[in-house]
Amino acid sequence: MKREIFVGKVGIGGDHPVSIQSMTNTDAGDVEGTLRQIRRLKAAGCDIVRVAVPRKAALAPFQRIVARSALPVIADIHFDAALALGALEKGAHGVRINPGNIGGSEKLKAVIRLAAQKKAPIRIGVNAGSLEKKYRRPGLERAEAMVASLLDRVKFFEDQGFFDLKLSLKSHDVAETVAANRLADRSCAYPLHLGVTEAGSYFAGAIRSAVGIGSLLLAGIGNTIRVSLTADPVREIRVARQILASVGLGRGGIDVVSCPTCARTSVDLIPLVEEFERKARRLRFPGRLRVALMGCEVNGPGEARDADVGVAFSRQRAFLFRKGKIVARVGAKEAIPRLLDLIRELATEADRA
């Protein structure tokens, strides 16, 4: 079990569930725009948000953001220890720093002292692309070098009496990310922040992140995750939630199962599934609900019998089913609205239970 830390009221490590993080991409001085994005992130299922503080002028807006944020806020700091100190004074619930570029050991010690006073955890990490030259030795795999660098940094913090740490090891290379985190998991008791850095566009980045993050979570490794995409940050949360659901760590909501379509498919299923997913995002379900949308009778109540509820289409009509048993026969155009109504009924039943 990993050491327990708290970012605001969100627990990480210990017995806490895996938390989801993202980062705002609004201008550092745009308080209202940043707060709107944070609200959208929370609505999508985000637990913790990171906000960049790139310059001194950003500290005053950062303070207003922290004061009104719907989520705990981590200050993202590079190159300037004064910004880390300023962000902590302005109320940051945690800071993310790269100890190697913060300005030397004395300045880093000052950050550590203030973080201890404010009871704010610090995330430290190593990215493969910024690995220091002294760790790039012949015969040493880069994943091993990343962990060696990280553990040296951890020792520095421990020597200062600071233990509220969260660690990250990231690479664009999925196998390298997985190898480094497996080794780190065996080497220390601090919670691990998982992610594949610079993962790419929504499509490519989602796949790369799912493979890397998902394989580690299946091995019981990881306490908090961020899916890094060149896309709207809300999409990061949707992908992260799906990764957690796929490895059995979902916290609730709707899990969609749909068939890949073939010559037996009797309707244009793809837009129907897209319509359902779009409308289902507005639904809230206590616990986990598996919903199946199937394009023919073959992949209907039979093969989707493990779904809690679903719909299967024939050429003439659609069959709504619950736990593999048909509960209604409706026209194809009525299928999605009726399925959504059925889910709302189930949600009401679950709330009353």
Does the domain at 253-352 match CATH 3.40.50.300? Answer given as no
Q: Report the topology of domain 5-246.
A: TIM Barrel (3.20.20)
Mean pLDDT value of segment 309-327: 86
Q: Assign 49 to helix, strand or coil.
A: strand
pLDDT of residue 299: 60
Say yes or no: do domains 5-246 and 253-352 share a fold: no
State yes or no: pLDDT of 176 exceeds 80: yes
pLDDT of residue 308: 87
User: Across 28-32, 126-130, 294-298, which has the greatest mean pLDDT?
Assistant: 28-32
CA atoms within 13 A on the CB side of 155: 7
User: Are 151 and 116 within 8 A, CB to CB?
Assistant: no
Whole-number percent of the chain with pLDDT over 90: 58
* Bridge partners (DSSP) listed for residue 125: 168
Mean pLDDT value of segment 219-238: 95
User: Are 58 and 28 within 8 A, CB to CB?
Assistant: yes
The 10s digit of each residue's pLDDT in 123-169 is 998 887 777 777 777 767 889 989 999 999 999 999 999 999 999 99
Burial 88-107 (b: 16+ CB within 10 A, else e): bebbbbbbbbbbeebeeeee
How many angstroms separate the Cα of 281 from the Cα of each of 228, 253, 284, 286? 21, 9, 8, 14
Mean pLDDT value of segment 246-272: 83
Query: Any idea which of 34-38, 48-52, 225-229, 344-348 has the lowest mean pLDDT?
Result: 344-348
The domain spans of the chain are 5-246, 253-352
How many angstroms separate the Cα of 117 from the Cα of each of 76, 113, 251, 278? 19, 6, 33, 45
State yes or no: pLDDT of 33 exceeds 80: yes
